[in-house]
Amino acid sequence: MAKIIPFKAVRPSPDKVGLVTCRNYEDYSAAELAAWLNFNPYSFLHVINPAYANVQSISLDKRFKGVALKYKDFKDENIFIQEERPAFYLYEINTKNKIFTGIIAGTSIKDYQNNHIKKHEDTLEYRVEMFKNYLHQTRFNTEPVLITYPDSIELTTWILLKKQNEPLSQFSTTNKEKHTLWKIDTQSDIDWLADHFENIPDLYIADGHHRSASAEMLYKDDKHLGNPNLDYFMSFLIAESNVKIYEFNRIIKDLNNYTKEDFLKKIAQHFIIKAKEQELWKPQNKFEFGMYLDGNFYALFYKNEKIKNDSFLENLDAQILYDTILNPILGIEDLRNDERIKYIPGKQSITAIKEVIDEGNYKVGFMLYPSDISEIKTLADNNLIMPPKSTYIEPKFRSGLIVYEL
């Protein structure tokens, strides 16, 4: 049974919401970041990146305190306003290719601990600790965990009905997305939605494993303070069929001292190799891989006799690539920290891989077929962990749109 709660959100004033919200901080190049900070005084980037010109020269502790102070400034200037009563929110993101619609709510730390909110990715302890310290210092979060729920005709019908109401805010962004937010605050709607999720046995984290782990760590450290908001973390709940899952492709700096010919012979032990020359070929099915090497594309087909029908993790394409090529041939053991490997989201054209390799800093690139939600759920149900950077999942939430205070 999944427990969700409404909460008293902090959000941008309606006339400034399009100016305040921003993409994830890490999505901006240095030039973009400087431009937004110089020319948009309302951007939430000012909050999450205070004193940005000197950000590399100050400690994390001072930076987090600066975030808290700048957030207070935004509230004092009425750029942010506090809701008077708890509410759920309905949020729609309309992109060029897809419309995403989900529910913003508080989800239970106890459900997370009891594995009713299931995970499929491992976390890095230092990142969890760092974000926990961030939450402890700033006392707010604006990046919800993306969580999927099973498709429900009843819930889909309810959402369509609520979308006919006047939205709380609506705005477009420079990357040509349209964002719409509705507030769900009548007691009957709140009760109906909470009751509906009470009948869902399990939820699944799609994106945000470090954020949820940090929320749990903060709960353990600070629950003695008696703040009920610590019992929950903000989530964006979306139907399984509504998420978009891309692969993460890989580029490698060298062939681990193999010649091209020897390298091809090595991978031929596990794959049928077909030269595609200049054709921009990408996998069409599971157990297929694309490769770009020395100016040419190749199709790699995993040999069927190697497939193990009873092993969920070993049948995952990202794991197959690691077990057959990246580790034994190219000598890459630590997928998170080895500087010889870089990851490119599958939503980018494979020409991006070609261009990077043609520039000479990388030697070989691999294109994967994206996982689907059933693979993610199967791994989570069996307490298995995907290799790092196995999935790039959309939608991506706008920072500063909804703030959950701690």
Higher pLDDT, 310 or 218: 218
Dist CA 379 CA 78 (whole Å): 45
- Summarised one tens digit per residue, pLDDT across range 75-128 is 999 999 999 999 999 999 999 989 999 999 999 999 999 999 999 988 888 889
Dist CA 69 CA 177 (whole Å): 30
Instruction: List the end-to-end C-alpha distance of the chain, in Å, as a whole number.
Output: 24
- Summarised one tens digit per residue, pLDDT across range 373-388 is 999 999 999 999 998 8
Strands (E), 260-317: 271-277, 288-293, 296-302
CATH number at residue 192: 3.90.1530.10
Residue 266: inside a domain? yes
pLDDT of 5 strictly over 80: yes
- Answer yes or no: do 237 and 315 share one domain: no
Residue 80: inside a domain? yes
**What does R_g of the chain's alpha carbons equal in angstroms?**
23
Query: For residue 34, what are its two tokens?
Result: 């400087």
pTM: 0.92
- Answer yes or no: do 165 and 147 share one domain: yes
Smallest CA-to-CA distance from 395 within 247, 244, 246, 249 is with 244
Dist CA 368 CA 270 (whole Å): 16
Residue 375: inside a domain? no
Query: For residue 101, what are its two tokens?
Result: 């619609």
- Answer yes or no: do 88 and 186 share one domain: yes
- Answer yes or no: do 84 and 227 share one domain: yes
State the chain's mean pLDDT as an integer.
93
pLDDT at 317: 94
Residue 130: inside a domain? yes
Residue 378: inside a domain? no
pLDDT of 236 strictly over 90: yes
Q: How many CB atoms lie within 10 A of CB 338?
A: 15
- Answer yes or no: do 295 and 232 share one domain: no
275 has which bridge partners? Answer: 298
- Summarised one tens digit per residue, pLDDT across range 63-74 is 899 999 999 999
Q: Side chain identity at 90, as an amino acid letter?
A: L
- Answer yes or no: do 41 and 87 share one domain: yes
Dist CA 305 CA 303 (whole Å): 6
- Answer yes or no: do 211 and 352 share one domain: no
- Answer yes or no: do 238 and 342 share one domain: no
Q: How many domains does the chain have?
A: 2
Percentage of residues in the chain with pLDDT exceeding 70? 97
- Answer yes or no: do 221 and 262 share one domain: no
pLDDT at 154: 97
Smallest CA-to-CA distance from 179 within 8, 23, 358, 386 is with 23
pLDDT at 30: 84
CB 239 within 8 A of CB 232: no
Say which residues have a Cβ less than 8 Å from residue 123's Cβ, sequence separation at least 6.
Answer: 209, 210, 213
**Which DSSP symbol is given to 325?**
I
Residue 385: inside a domain? no
Dist CA 182 CA 203 (whole Å): 23
Element (DSSP H or E) covering residue 219: helix 209-222
- Answer yes or no: do 232 and 252 share one domain: no
The conformational region for residue 256 under phi > 0 = left, psi -120 to 50 = alpha, else beta, is left
Residue 386: inside a domain? no
Smallest CA-to-CA distance from 238 within 264, 206, 194, 191 is with 206
CATH number at residue 319: 3.30.1760
Residue 380: inside a domain? no
- Answer yes or no: do 302 and 319 share one domain: yes
- Answer yes or no: do 253 and 174 share one domain: no
Owning domain of residue 285: 247-370
CB 33 within 8 A of CB 49: yes
